[in-house]
Amino acid sequence: MKIINEDNITKFYFAAMVGVIALLSASLAYFFASRQHREFQDESWKMASEFSKIQRMKLIEETEQAVDAAAWHMRRTERILKKNIREETYKACTIARTLYNRNKGRMTDDEIRIQIREALRDVRFNQGRGYFFINDMERKKWVLLPTAPHLEGTDFRDHRDNTGDYIMRDFIRIVKTRNEGFSAYRWYRPGNAEVKKRKISFVKYFEPLNWIIGTGEYLEDVTRDIQQTLLARLSQIRFGQNGYISVLRHDGTVLLLPSRPGLTRMNARKADIEHARDIAQTLIEISRRGGGFYRYKWFRPNQDIPVDKLAYADSFEEWEWTIIASVYLDPVKTILSQKRIELEESVRENIVVTIWIFIAATLGAILISFFLSREIHRIFNTYKTDIRKRNRGLQRVNDELKHRIEELCQSERARILLLSAIEQASESVIITDPAGRIEYVNSAFEQITGYSRAEAEGKTTGGQHDERLFQTIRDALNRRGTWQGQVTNRRKDGGLYHAYAAVSPVTDHAGEIINYISIQRDITHEVALEAELRQAHKMEAIGTLAGGIAHDFNNILFPIMGYTEMTLEDVPPDSLAHRNLKEVFTGVQRAKELVQQILAFSRMEETRKQPIRLQTIIREALKLLRASLPSTIEIVRQISPECRPVMGDSIQIHQVIINLCTNAFQAMKDTGGRLYISLSEKQACAGDGISPAPGSASYLELVIRDTGHGIEKAILERIFDPYFTTKGPGEGTGMGLAVVHGIISDHAGDISVTSAAGKGTVFTVRLPVSEEETASEASCGPVPPANGAEHILVVDDEKSVTLMLKQMLEHLGYRVSACNQPDMALRQFQAAPGGFDLVISDMTMPKMTGDRLIREMRSHREDVPVILCTGFSETFTPESARSVGAQALLMKPIDRNELAAAIRAALDGSG
């Protein structure tokens, strides 16, 4: 019998108050929930009835406004064109008049003509399409025609358009009668001498030189620009909650589709999306009949499930456009979905915290990189100082050589001696006339470049540089008399080499320059060593950065993975929450694998081959590439799903696909084209160049083909050579295909290439099929985790980790004591060494590491089982863990089955 006292009354009162409050809270919650539910039902009915009426009126209004905008823009086309070309012609005349007035009296008229012509030659406008032309009325000849410079200096009077009208004679008539004016005619587009297009030009008389200066623009270019401007504005229009404007051509081409931007410029009548062809055809027919409504199912942006939609379509016949205003008919569902999204906001807050931690770790890594970069900078400065010393030595040699040339030119014997010295020098020597034409090269030049003396003489010096470098050299020679610097030249076989050059003038007794001499030392090997040194330091910094991030990031992923696994069991399998949590769990696993891949790459570990499926790697690589490829390049895939696995390293195979596809993109970046990728399984036969796996006579054939400019036969033989590249300085290292060849050879495979100039390139990779199954195929489905009832002590300095482990292990039936401080955990263990059946401890903790904690505990009880966990450690291995008495070393994040199995193994004595 309980005794009633003050303490019991207090407890009873407290319990009663809690009960009353709980009851009132539940009652109020039920009241408000019921009322909101009734209001929600009433508002839903009203919303549905009003929505249809309002949306139909809005759709008609938006469509008519878009059609009116198109008509307004079309009417402005020719006016805008004329305004632009008149303004540009006035600018050209202003430039010409300024140059004429500035140089009149200082230069001859012919010199002024040349200066004005060259000043206007490279001027471009209207997105690079517009240019200026000049006609000489006195001489009746072309002065400037940038698109056809070969016609400059020829008679322009007989040029006609396709109607037979004399174009230039009309220009003369205009300037004689009105001094300036417009002329409309049909003329060839640049680069297309077969089709003439309608063009409007504006010409103006330039009296000082009796010139006609003008420019023109094709009407279809301006129309296209205006259409693009209108489409850009229409793409920004939104009305209602989800309404937008779409535009189709009457032939089915998609011009604007905000919900599916990827379909832009595609023909909807040929699209492979379900019902897309029928929807497009119906909307076009409705618009051309005078406009009307159409209801159908279509996709929301970034969603793959079609929903009800209402559209109003009308036609703008002048441009052959079908303009459509449309809205989705499920705004109420969207509102309800928004409320559900708000419930998920708390989950995203945890993600935000994780992101901030990641940012903090990244900032720490940046600080480390800053100190490392200072050390690298010191090494580079030492290297540059050495180079400068060598360059000064080279300059001294150059000065001495020039002095000897001046002295030895006095006699034939001296010339023979000088020629012998130059011929036997290891540096290449080039002597040119004042105009830059080569008069002499020595044997070293022939050995370095591959060009014979006969091939080089008479040619002008060049290289992989633009006119600015040569202007810099000329300025240096005029100021100081010498120039020194690094240059990049191309050998006869197409390969590039780097040289350090010193250029000096050779003068006669009167001080006039009669030649230039250039001494060049091949420093290709030094440049390659410098690049390798730079890359080595980068990899060292990446390794340090990756290790620091891995430890913190794995500690972050661990509780996310644990809570997700436990929550998955608590929600219905067919619910939206279950699907969302599955995606979260999949993302955590991918993050775990990504951290492992980064660590493996940064440490340059030896590859570990296992059975992998190329289909998955190809999909991942193409997903990565698609975001960086322009829309002018189309990817065509033919991937056979029946292809069996190969034995290989997924990271290296991914690198092979990325490198080959990037080369294909480089070949098509200017002209666009198609990138074909196919994968198939074939039977091996003699001559294939590969070694089938034991028990298999098959191989996988991966073909990557492009429609680019192709590769010349002379270059094709060297593309797999290290450091061989046809790209300019700073555009490539020449190691991409060499690395690909090395990876394929390491996988017992074969790679070949076929190509021809102008016909594209085909790379064929063959890899032997593996008879082993991939890890995902060999698994037999989910295995329920092992349970138990023992008492476990969990030690980790991360509170989120200990809370998650405690909940997970209690869910498995264990009794758990959790502690965030190792010294406190040690005191608990010392107080009752026999009270714990197992200890799970983190390896890296403040005040005391995990291995030290084990030693302290084993001094009180030698047979206590221990499992160590760590986010990352370069020095502590499973062997190290066993040496200090631990049954297992687990790498975070650890999934529940792995942890449960390790616990049972340690407790049952099989660890």
* Listed residue (234, 146, 144) closest to 191, CA to CA: 146
**Where are the domains positioned within the chain?**
87-217, 424-528, 614-768, 791-908
Q: Is the predicted pLDDT of residue 467 greater than 80, yes or no?
A: no
CA distance 317 to 133: 36
Q: State which fold the 424-528 domain adopts.
A: Beta-Lactamase (3.30.450)
Confidence label for 558 from pLDDT (cuts 50, 70 and 90): confident
Write the pLDDT tens digit of every residue in 255-306: 888 887 877 888 877 766 667 788 888 888 898 888 889 888 888 777 778 8
Half-sphere exposure of 162 (CA within 13 A, CB side): 10
In the chain, DSSP finds a helix count (H) and a strand count (E) of 24, 28
Residue (of 772, 646, 667) closest to 712 by Cα position? 667
Is beta strand 428-432 parallel, antiparallel or unpaired with respect to 513-522? antiparallel
pLDDT at 474 over 60: yes
Best CA proximity match to 746, nearest among 883, 648, 641, 852:
648
| CA-wise closest residue to 66 among 238, 256, 324 | 324
Write down the pLDDT at residue 509.
80
For 791-908, CATH number? 3.40.50.2300
pLDDT score recorded for residue 795 = 94
Query: With 80 as the cut, is the pLDDT of residue 203 above it?
Result: yes
Per this entry, what is the length of the chain?
911
Are 614-768 and 791-908 equal in CATH topology?
Answer: no
- Residue 559's CB is within 10 A of a number of other CB atoms, namely 23
Task: Say what percent of the chain tops pLDDT 70.
Answer: 77
d(CA 866, CA 793): 10
- Calculate ∠ Cα 449-455-461, nearest 5°: 65
Residue 51: per-residue pLDDT:
66
- Return the pLDDT at 94: 94
Torsion angle of C-alpha atoms 598, 599, 605, 611, degrees rounded to 10: -60
CA distances 878 to 390, 543, 869, Å, are 52, 21, 10
Confidence at residue 95, expressed as pLDDT on a 0 to 100 scale: 93
Please compute, for residue 222, the number of CA atoms within 13 A of its CA located in the half-sphere on the CB side. 24
Of 729 and 142, which is predicted with more confidence?
142
Residue 337 tokens read as: 């979905």
- Strand spans (E) along 717-800: 750-755, 761-768, 791-795
* Cis peptide, bond prior to residue 190, ω within 30 of zero: no
CB–CB of 556/872 below 8 Å? no
Q: How far is Cα 87 from Cα 221, in angstroms, rounded to an integer?
A: 17
3-state secondary structure of 623: helix
Of the pLDDT bands very low, low, confident and very high (cuts 50, 70, 90), residue 459 is: confident
Of residues 750 and 697, the one with the higher pLDDT is 750
On whether the CB atoms of residues 674 and 610 are closer than 8 A, the answer is no
- Quote the pLDDT of residue 74: 82
What confidence score (pLDDT) does residue 735 get? Answer: 56
Amino acid at the residue 809: L
Decide: helix, strand or coil at residue 611.
strand
The span from the CA of 826 to the CA of 832, in Å, is 10
CA–CA separation, 565 vs 716, rounded Å? 54
Measured CA to CA, the distance from residue 909 to residue 911 in angstroms comes to 6
Q: What is the mean pLDDT of residues 744-766?
A: 89
CA distances from 185 to 144, 167, 202 (A): 19, 7, 12
For the segment 135-159, the average pLDDT, to the nearest whole number, is: 85
**Mean pLDDT computed over every residue of the chain:** 79
Superfamily of domain 614-768: Histidine kinase-like ATPase, C-terminal domain (3.30.565.10)
Characterize 523-546 residue by residue with b for buried, 16 or more Cβ atoms within 10 angstroms of its Cβ, and e for exposed: beebbbebeeeeeebeeebbbebb
How far is it, in rounded angstroms, from Cα 400 to Cα 525?
27
Say if residue 2's pLDDT is above 50.
Answer: no
Distance of CA 819 to the CA centre of its chain: 46
**Tell me, what DSSP letter sits at residue 689?**
-
pLDDT digits (tens, 9 = 90+) for 597-649: 566 555 544 556 888 888 888 887 887 777 678 888 888 999 988 899 998 88
Q: Is 835 helix (H, G, I), strand (E, B) or coil?
A: helix
- The 3-class secondary structure across 586-633, one letter per residue, is HHHHHHHHHHHHHHHHHCCCCCCCEEECHHHHHHHHHHHHHCCCCCCE
Beta partners for residue 646, in sequence order: 612, 769
Enter the CATH code of domain 87-217: 3.30.450.20
pTM of the prediction? 0.38
For residue range 584-597, what is the model confidence (pLDDT) as tens digits? 887 787 677 667 65
**Cα distance between residue 465 and residue 728, in whole Å:** 9
| CA–CA separation, 25 and 27 (whole Å) | 5
Classified as helix, coil or strand, 244 is: strand
> In the beta sheet, which residues pair with residue 647?
611
Q: What is the DSSP-derived secondary structure letter of residue 688?
A: S
| Tens digits of residue pLDDT in 545-556 | 666 677 777 778
Burial of 90 (0-12, 13-18, 19+ CB in 10 A): middle
Higher pLDDT, 339 or 226: 226
